[in-house]
Amino acid sequence: MTTMTDPPGQGFRLSQLIYDTRYRSLTIQVVAMILLMLLVSWLVANTVTNLHALGKDFDFGFLTQPSGYDINQRLIAYDSQSTHGRAAVVGILNTLLVAVLGCALATVLGVVAGVLRLSNNWLVSRLMAVYVEGFRNVPLLLWIVLIFALMSESTPAPSAFRGDTPSASMLLDGVAVTNRGIYIPAIHFGAPFFDNGLYNWLIVLIAFAASVFAVKRLSRWAAVKQEATGDRPTTWYLTLGILVLPVAILFALMGAFLDLPSLQGFNFQGGIHLRGSLIALWLALSLYTGAFIAEIVRGGILAVSKGQSEAAFALGLRPGTTMKLVVLPQALRVIIPPLISQFLNLTKNSSLAIAVGYMDARSTLGGITINQTGRELEGMLLLGLFYLVLSLVISGAMNVYNTSVKLKER
């Protein structure tokens, strides 16, 4: 708000601090500053007094002390003798695991549901509307406990798989759905020198990244050829080969074999055990967020005006090319920012893991560690910081993306 004021006839008067727009903003800010400082110092003084009265101090030393509790799902080595700090890292990794799995599945579900909701097929679009409205209007917590109850109440116990005529059977001989979780086959590497699982997967990942890079080069070569001659060389078999062959050869070299779960004693052994808590949390988060993503995708596609695809058809582009070159780039500009904020929501909602006993960051750092050490202040501060940093990093990345795809206007 800029207002032209006549230059004051006489010197500075005190009332100008309130009535003169040039000085008023300064006055307001100084008063606000003083009030803020007073509030903060009041809070800090209270905290210091309270901590003193309880005989506590403000110290992060507990992070290096042995934790003394077990975590049932761990991505890195951990036992009850490890430190509280390591327990926090295990929890953070579990949070990130379910967040990444959830984002992937939610995107797939959301894109499929969003596109199908626009379908001409009345039945399909109504079905998708029911899915979207049903999941958006019921609390996520209810879905989590419901799916967890489904997992634990409506699935057979491992003992049902035993005997000559078992009442339950494994899917494709490799996947067992039980009330203790789902057992799926694992890939292990048997060749000498390849006994460390993590590094093996890193090698596979690097090889795959190299293949993807090569595929990109291939398609650029094809595009150059098309520009020069007008004919695009057929590359799909080359692409397939480049993507599959190196990884397959690597698997053979490293002696990969499938480790199938099998019933031994009272429980399944071998394979990968996905706990019921992880499955329930993952499915509920994905289905719930997927409903929101479906609406975003639908809105994004509707936001591209019909004239755009008609213009592309008028230029003689085929429907597939039109989608790829004209509609999708414009729809993505609308879709991506809210999509990423949905990913953020999913990550934050994963803290509802508490409902099913999934050991995420809140359960380890913000739960058992706090209970055992009595360090509520430090624990909650670290937990809050973890989520805050995660949010800021993701939204920072989103801002960079937004500026890069923004319409370049005058």
When asked if residue 145 is in the footprint of other proteins (CB under 8 A), the reply is yes
CB of residue 251 vs other proteins: minimum separation in angstroms?
34
Among 8, 66, 139, 329, binds other proteins (CB under 8 A): 139
Strand pairing partners for 122?
none
Which residues ranging from 162 to 181 are in contact with other proteins (CB under 8 A)?
none
**Beta carbon nearer to other proteins, 244 or 389:** 389
**Beta carbon nearer to other proteins, 189 or 292:** 292
Instruction: Round to whole Å and give the CA distance between 135 and 148.
Output: 16
CB of residue 122 vs other proteins: minimum separation in angstroms?
4
Among 76, 100, 104, 142, binds other proteins (CB under 8 A): 142
When asked if residue 34 is in the footprint of other proteins (CB under 8 A), the reply is no
**Beta carbon nearer to other proteins, 33 or 245:** 33
Which residues ranging from 377 to 406 are in contact with other proteins (CB under 8 A)?
377, 380, 383-384, 387-388, 390-392
Give me 32's structure tokens: 């606000």
With tokens 């003689």, the residue in question is 316
Residue (of 1, 279, 246) closest to 149 by Cα position: 279
Whether the Cβ atoms of residue 90 and residue 408 lie closer than 8 Å to each other: no
Q: Which stretch binds other proteins (CB under 8 A): 117-125, 177-185, 220-228, 396-404?
A: 117-125
Residue (of 44, 14, 121, 22) closest to 377 by Cα position: 44
When asked if residue 141 is in the footprint of other proteins (CB under 8 A), the reply is yes
Catalogue the E-assigned strands of 146-192. Answer: 176-178, 181-184, 186-189
Residue (of 257, 250, 277, 258) closest to 353 by Cα position: 277
Residue (of 373, 394, 382) closest to 96 by Cα position: 394
Q: How far is CA 222 from CA 13, 212, 238, 320, 332, in A?
A: 76, 15, 11, 18, 25
When asked if residue 123 is in the footprint of other proteins (CB under 8 A), the reply is yes
When asked if residue 75 is in the footprint of other proteins (CB under 8 A), the reply is no
Q: What is the dihedral of CA 127, 133, 138, 143, to 10 degrees?
A: 40
Which residues ranging from 332 to 371 are in contact with other proteins (CB under 8 A)?
348-349, 351-352, 354-355, 362, 366, 370
CB of residue 58 vs other proteins: minimum separation in angstroms?
10
Q: Which stretch binds other proteins (CB under 8 A): 21-29, 234-242, 264-272, 310-318?
A: 21-29
With tokens 């997967």, the residue in question is 201
How far is C-alpha 190 from the chain's CA centre? 32
What contacts 204, CB < 8 A, 6 or more positions away?
247, 250, 251
**Beta carbon nearer to other proteins, 121 or 196:** 121
Applying CB under 8 A, which residues contact other proteins? 1, 3, 18, 25, 28-29, 32-33, 36, 43, 46-47, 49-51, 53, 116, 119-124, 127, 133-134, 136-142, 145-146, 149, 153, 348-349, 351-352, 354-355, 362, 366, 370, 376-377, 380, 383-384, 387-388, 390-392
